[in-house]
Amino acid sequence: MKILAIETSCDDTCIAILDVKGEINSPSFNVLANEVASQIKVHQKYGGVYPMMAKREHQRNLVPVFTRALKQAKLLNSKFEIRNSKQIPNSKFEILNEILEREPELYKKIIPFLRKYKKPDVDLIAVTDGPGLEPCLWVGVNFAKALSFAWGIPVVPVNHIESHILVNLLENKVKFPSMALVVSGGHTQIILVKKIGSYKILGETRDDAAGECFDKCAKILGLGYPGGPAIAKLASQWKSEIRNPKSEIKLPRPMIGTKDYDFSFSGLKTAVLYADRKVTNKNLNYKKEMAAEVQQAIADVLIKKTLKAVKDLNAKTLILGGGVSANNELQKQFKLEAKNKKLKLDIIYPERNLSTDNALMTAITGFYHKKNLVNWKNIKVDGNLSI
- Residue 327 near which of ligand ADP, Mg ion, none (CB within 5-8 Å, type-dependent): ligand ADP
DSSP one-letter string for 300-334? HHHHHHHHHHHHHTT-SEEEEESGGGG-HHHHHHH
Nearest distance in Å: CB 378, ligand ADP: 25
The size of the interface with ligand ADP (CB under 6 A), counted in residues, is 19
Q: Which does 135 bind (CB under 5 to 8 A by kind): ligand ADP, Mg ion, none?
A: none
Partner in contact with 232, chosen from Mg ion, ligand ADP, none, beta carbon below 5 to 8 Å by kind: ligand ADP
For residue 310, CA distances in Å to 47, 82, 331, 337 come to 35, 59, 16, 12
Chain centroid to CA 189: how far?
A: 13
Between CA 192 and CA 317 the distance in angstroms is: 10
Query: 18 vs 217, which CB is nearer to ligand ADP?
Result: 217
> Residue type for 345, please?
L
Shortest Cβ distance from residue 94 to ligand ADP (Å)? 35
Provide the minimum distance between the beta carbon of 212 and ligand ADP in the complex, in angstroms, as a whole number.
Answer: 6
Q: Pairing between strand 124-130 and 2-7? A: parallel
Residue 385 backbone dihedrals phi, psi, to 5 degrees: -50, 135
For residues 231 and 218, is the Cβ–Cβ distance under 8 A?
A: yes
The conformational region for residue 22 under phi > 0 = left, psi -120 to 50 = alpha, else beta, is left
Which residue in the set 146, 324, 359, 381 belongs to the binding site for ligand ADP (CB under 6 A)? 324
**x-or-dash string of contact with ligand ADP, 212-231, rule CB under 6 A:** --xx----------xxxx--
The one of Mg ion, ligand ADP, none whose footprint includes residue 6, by CB under 5 to 8 A per kind, is none
> Among residues 34, 61, 184, 325, which is the contact residue for Mg ion, using CB under 5 A?
184
Q: 3 burial class (0-12, 13-18, 19+ CB within 10 angstroms)?
A: buried
Nearer to ligand ADP, 59 or 355 (CB): 355
Residue 357 in the binding site for Mg ion (CB under 5 A): yes
- Here's the x/- map for Mg ion, 236-265, by CB under 5 A: it reads as ------------------------------
Query: Which of these, 128, 168, 162, lies nearest to 325 by C-alpha position?
Result: 168
Say how far apart CA 256 and CA 262 lie, in whole Å. 9
Which positions from 157 to 186 touch ligand ADP by CB under 6 A, shown as an x/- string?
---------------------------xxx
- Residue of the chain from 130, 135, 322, 366 that contacts ligand ADP (CB under 6 A): 322
Query: Which helix H or strand E contains 194, and what residues bound it?
Result: strand 188-195
Q: Which residues bind ligand ADP (CB under 6 A)?
A: 10, 184-186, 211, 214-215, 226-229, 232, 322-324, 326-327, 356-357
- Residues near Mg ion (CB under 5 A) are 184, 357
